[in-house]
Amino acid sequence: MRSGELLRKSCPAAHGYFSRERLVYGWLLLVFVLIFARLVWLQIIQAPSLQAKGLERRTQDEKVQAERGSIFDAFGRVMAQSVPVKEVYADPKMLTQQIAKQQWRGSKQELAQKLGSLLGQKPEDILAKLNQDASWVSLARQVDLDTAQEIMSWHVPGFGVSDKEKRVYPMGTIASSVLGIVNLEGHGVEGVEAYYDQDLFGKPGYASDDQNSGEGMPTCAQQYERTAPGNNLTLTLDSTIQYLCETQADDLMKTTRAKNVSILAMDPLSGRILAIATRPTFDPNAYSASSPDDRRNRAISMSYEPGSTFKIITGAAALEERVITPEDTFKDPGYIKIGTRTITNWDSDQQPHGWLTFTRGMELSSNVVLAQVGQKLGKDAFYAYLRAFGFGSKTGVDIAGEEAGLLVPQDKVRDIDLATMSFGQANLVTPLQLLSAISTIANGGTLYRPYIVDRVTAPDGRVVKQNIPIRVRQVISKATAAQMTQILQDVVEVGTGHLAAIPGIAVAGKTGTAQKVDPQTGQYSRTDFVASFAAFAPAQDPKIALLIVVDSPQGEVHQGGTLAAPRARAIIEGALQYYGIPVAKDTPSDVGSSAEDTPQHLVRLTPAPAVPERQPLNGEVVVPNLVGLTMRQAGEVLAKLELHFDFTGTGLVTGQTPAPGKVVARGSTVEARFAPLGQSP
């Protein structure tokens, strides 16, 4: 028998002693294993992370904002870019201590007064920051370099500057609602700036000031993580066409005293947006002085009842379904009763029309005729085409802030609703939705997704993303589109859109005058309207589709044909001249610039070389001679010289200011006056 067994048998107490001893050793072993595992975890597995935290405790990290990418128009003109600025900050605790120890002779009150005068802030606001019990406060952001340098020359204890960026918009209010704004953190929060923020923002880095060297002494050593600049955007916007739209929007706001105005231009063959001008507007260089309403891009966010411009959609659907033909006749005594409701025409107080063909009904913008067309089409087919044309859903345009409009639920639609919807009441659309749908008629029946960014490029010029036209669906046949196009030509030639007619150019268009709902009564107002006009040209080979919307014009005149059609003519005429397309039967194309290419009495002027008044210095250019050039040619010449332009009139350049040969600084504005060939300026 073993001694242990003998001991356990002879002494039970000894057996308990050995059990407790094993338990103690077991616990000690477990503790040792845990400590060892912890050491392995800390010194091997987590070593890199702990080293970084240690560095962080010995450093004061500052996040360095990456350079935000620039935004250009279709021809490379800068529309948005970032410039270096400084943020001025302070350590109030340090400043207080230095003043108390009399190591800095001055007072916070005097300092606040001086800073307020320099930075354009209230001294009391700055003083409140300097009196905080904090180690860091921001005194001013986006301070220009000279101002920041002056502040640092005062050598105030605890004051410092950090590198930041400021977003600038060289064209001011031009396309401001499209571009949007960038906040103080460098992120886009509206418009294209917001939609493409991830592309534009870039990769931030950091800079660290080491607060403790190996010997325990402060050091100025810097550690950096490099930033990666953001990508650049090239838009589909053409700043020349944009300027034409902006000019008409300004004039409409001035002459009609409207609540707001939206003008959109699009290439109907691709969905490329050429221009968007909205009023009210704002200067993105000083967006803090604007309201959200000023910055709102109504072209994509305004939901409104379109009125008679919507008759294009109803008519196209009915023609496609073959429930009508252009020659079908409808009785129009000036009114039609649907149940207990009576529908009238805009001109019912003037004369009844009697029997009208569908084409003539469109030319006269007859509500009575279109209500009957809607009844023939039926609710189910009508709603199928509403959705096919894109109403009730977002277009998918690449601008932040788009709305979807609003369709009355199909199962709630009564006969009277179907009738009023047929001529543009009840349902709500956005201007971009409507222009996209009208472009479908212009291009032969295909709905394209509208887009405003042509490409995204890396800082080295490499194309990161190239946007291309996206075909959403074929909505109607080419034959139906051709029928409706011819009807819309007739509307301009002999109907309510006659003020948009351009000699030598086939313009297709439709007027609209929609009553607005009075929020007080819930009924349609007799004094508040939305005037509009939609058009595309040349009708058989369209280069531009256009929509003008004037919300709540003041005064006796409120019809779309009177207010908006002449503006559409001016924009289309200017755009076609810009494209080199003659706008009169005897006006030569811009490809012919010599006497033998043009009629003898309409010889086009050819620019003579400009003789410089003196040798230009660094940053200066010689103003070129623009006389005889089209808008496109003049715009390209000025853009290459980095000169801005201010164009008035249409046709060819007949005069300019400054005169050819003058020496001006880059970025200066050249005014060019245009007139049709053969006419005086």
> What pLDDT score does 68 carry?
93
| Six-digit token string for 350 | 């003037």
Return the beta strands (E) in 211-286 as ranges: 222-225, 232-235, 260-266, 273-279
Cis peptide bond N-terminal to 658, omega within 30: yes
Whether residue 255 sits in one domain with residue 225: no
Whether residue 457 sits in one domain with residue 605: no
Q: Which residues contact 46 (CB under 8 A, 6 or more apart)?
A: none
Confidence grade of residue 423 (pLDDT, cut at 50, 70, 90): very high
| pLDDT for residue 84 is more than 90 | no
> What pLDDT score does 376 carry?
97
| pLDDT for residue 493 is more than 50 | yes
Whether residue 603 sits in one domain with residue 508: no
| pLDDT for residue 125 is more than 80 | yes
**Full residue range of the structural domain in which residue 606 is found:** 595-675
Whether residue 30 sits in one domain with residue 86: no
Task: Please calculate the CA angle 22-28-34 and round it to the nearest 5 degrees.
Answer: 135
For the residues 201-216, what does the mean pLDDT come to? 57
Helix 431-442 / helix 478-494 crossing angle, nearest 10 deg: 110
Residue 264 in domain: yes
Whether residue 514 sits in one domain with residue 369: yes
Least confident of 16-30, 155-169, 366-380, 664-678: 16-30
| pLDDT for residue 59 is more than 50 | no
> What pLDDT score does 12 carry?
54
Whether residue 127 sits in one domain with residue 140: yes
Three-state secondary-structure class, residue 204: coil
> What pLDDT score does 633 carry?
79
Residue 50 in domain: no
Whether residue 352 sits in one domain with residue 339: yes
Give me the CATH number covering residue 527. Answer: 3.40.710.10
For the residues 436-458, what does the mean pLDDT come to? 98
Give me the CATH number covering residue 635. Answer: 3.30.10.20
| pLDDT for residue 598 is more than 90 | no
Whether residue 455 sits in one domain with residue 367: yes
Residue 109 in domain: yes
Whether residue 489 sits in one domain with residue 389: yes
For the residues 143-161, what does the mean pLDDT come to? 88
* Residue 213 vs residue 340, higher pLDDT: 340
Return the percentage of the chain with pLDDT > 70, whole number. Answer: 85
Confidence grade of residue 433 (pLDDT, cut at 50, 70, 90): very high
Residue 53 in domain: no
| pLDDT for residue 605 is more than 50 | no
CA distances (Å), origin 174, targets 250, 504, 566, 612: 11, 31, 22, 31
Residue 309 in domain: yes
Whether residue 643 sits in one domain with residue 564: no
10 Å CB burial of residue 615 (0-12, 13-18, 19+) is exposed
> What pLDDT score does 213 carry?
37
For the residues 70-83, what does the mean pLDDT come to? 92
> What pLDDT score does 620 carry?
85
Residue 199 in domain: yes
> What pLDDT score does 591 carry?
31
Q: Which long-range contacts (CB under 8 A, 24 or more apart) does 583-589 make?
A: 583/502, 583/503, 583/504, 583/505, 583/650, 583/676, 584/503, 584/504, 584/676, 585/503, 585/504, 586/504, 586/678, 587/504, 587/676, 587/677, 587/678, 588/677
- The predicted model scores a pTM of 0.76
Confidence grade of residue 212 (pLDDT, cut at 50, 70, 90): very low
Whether residue 125 sits in one domain with residue 171: yes
> What pLDDT score does 106 carry?
84
| pLDDT for residue 393 is more than 70 | yes
Confidence grade of residue 571 (pLDDT, cut at 50, 70, 90): very high
* Residue 209 vs residue 451, higher pLDDT: 451
For the residues 565-572, what does the mean pLDDT come to? 95
Least confident of 120-129, 290-299, 629-638: 629-638
| pLDDT for residue 187 is more than 90 | yes
Residue 56 in domain: no
For the residues 490-511, what does the mean pLDDT come to? 95
Average pLDDT, the chain: 85
Confidence grade of residue 362 (pLDDT, cut at 50, 70, 90): very high
Give me the CATH number covering residue 154. Answer: 3.90.1310.10
| pLDDT for residue 47 is more than 90 | no
Nearest to 256 by CA among 511, 531, 518: 531
For the residues 194-203, what does the mean pLDDT come to? 93
Span 241-279, pLDDT tens digits: 999 999 999 999 999 999 999 999 999 999 999 999 999
Residue 295 in domain: no
For the residues 608-614, what does the mean pLDDT come to? 78
Counted domains in the chain: 4
Confidence grade of residue 608 (pLDDT, cut at 50, 70, 90): low
Whether residue 483 sits in one domain with residue 527: yes
| pLDDT for residue 646 is more than 60 | yes
Which of 197, 214, 235 finishes a domain? 235
Span 300-350, pLDDT tens digits: 999 999 999 999 999 999 999 999 999 999 999 989 999 888 998 877 666
